[in-house]
Structure 1
């Protein structure tokens, strides 16, 4: 059984603030260790379920948060950037299931460190008219590769967002949001045990299931930016059209559409240079 783990950081056990998750932050080094331990709990759970191949994609920020020596020896690590598929780099139909560790809720929700890919630069994202963030786009892209999202860990807001999208996913809330930078924390040992057990259980019952029809049709991706400059610049990319002065959209097939969105975010980053949690 081949398992793919996408590891973000905002939804990791114990972390609540930008200083916990941004390089140079006063608690970032501790945050890296906490991230590794949540990931390792997921790896142990996958091994207990019979996984024979596990790859972990460091999916947060600079994507160099997990040091190789921190990771469970039975897992391989994808580290660094740029990556064509970003948070889903090297996810293929050969994977039997995907696990998302440390994920967070989308922009505009009252979740711990909530945002969609780019801090407050991205105000809203819609996929085929449905509001989405990193969770929804990851789920939809994996589904088009016929890879089910088996389990996800994060705060209670991220878990609720996941279940609203697909109630068959096993979720683990490692903290409960009190505000965007505050949470009631689950005890660390309890959270790690819950992650391990949930991954084992989810992989024991998960079967591949199509999220969309067997003959996929093009999807429409729409993004509302804070900056009209970003929207205007993106109109130089073929197939991108304007909805209003700050909103653009395009159509395409997932997962190619996910890769194109990654190009949009790199263009936006070159124009704005804003910190993720302003």
Structure 2
């Protein structure tokens, strides 16, 4: 059994400030270690459930956060950014039994994590078929294109609630809750234990139906923080203005939505 892990940092237990997610700041060293430890716990849970190989996409900022020497000997790591539309899911294919998400966070426009955002801070909201979407929304649908179920997520309370509602049977561990610029978190050791146990349990059950519902047609709307960002994005073929700070793109094929997002968000 092969398992795919997409790893971010803004939903890691204990995190509360952007400095802790920024590789240029001294605080990042502590939180890259905590991020790594949560990923290792997920690997251990997958292994105990019978995984023979785990592929990890380092999916935060530079894509070069995880401490490689801490990873187990049955893991592969995808670092950096290829330019492929799968982005945070790059490396996944139809040979994987399941997808797991670690360190995930709430979407832009929400208030349950001081670090809530979607893709980057230039985007104030991203909507898919009229609903405000998160990075998990996009990534779970990406996995589903390959027939890969999304079985487990660890992150803040907001993204856990969203993921459970979107994917039938998905298990989630709530690492933190936020109010304003503060977060209330379980301890990293507690988080690692719950992740290890949660991934093992999720992969030991019947997770074949843990797939988000597909639509016959998709419309993505990106609301930018400034009108100049929207003007630039509006030059993408098929994009249309959706107000002074927003553009829209629609297609029946979700892979085309992913392709468009790759260029529209930059």
TM-score by length of 2: 0.93
SS at match of 1:255: helix
Q: Alignment length, in residue pairs?
A: 262
1:118 correspondence with 2:120: yes
Residue 232 of structure 1 deviates from its aligned partner by 1.3
| Structure-1 residue corresponding to 2:49 | 49
**CA offset digits 1:174-227 (Å, max 9, x no partner):** 222233x322221222211100000011111243335346xx633111111111
CA RMSD between the two structures: 1.6
Q: How do 1:1-278 residues align onto structure 2 when only pairs under 5 Å count?
A: 1-84=1-84, 85-112=86-113, 113-119=115-121, 121-179=122-180, 181-209=181-209, 210-212=211-213, 217-252=216-251, 253-266=253-266
Structure 1 unpaired stretches of 5+: 267-278
CA offset at residue 90 of structure 1? 1.5
CA distance in 2, matches of 1:5, 1:236: 34
Question: Can you list the C-alpha shifts for 1:212-260, whole angstroms capped at 9, x where unaligned?
Answer: 46xx633111111111112111222111111212111112322332232
- Alpha-carbon distance, 1:83 to partner: 3.4
Counterpart secondary structure, 2:175? strand
* Distance in structure 2 (CA, Å) of the matches to 1:74 and 1:176: 33
Aligned partner of 1:273 in structure 2 is none
How many Å separate the matches in 1 of 2:116 and 2:88? 16
Whether the 8 Å CA contact 2:4–2:56 is kept in 1: the answer is yes
1:48 to 1:25, Cα distance in 2 relative to 1, 3 A: same
Distance 1:74 1:135, change over 3 A: same
Q: Can you give the 5+ residue segments of structure 2 that lack an aligned partner in the other structure? A: none
Residues 54, 74 of structure 2: 8 Å contact kept: yes
Q: Tell me, yes or no, if the aligned pair for 1:144 and 1:212 is still in contact at 8 Å.
A: no
State the alpha-carbon separation in 1 of the partners of residues 102 and 206 from structure 2: 17
Name the CA distance, whole Å, in 2 between partners of 1:255 and 1:51.
28
Residue 144 of structure 1, CA deviation: 2.5
TM-score (norm 1): 0.89
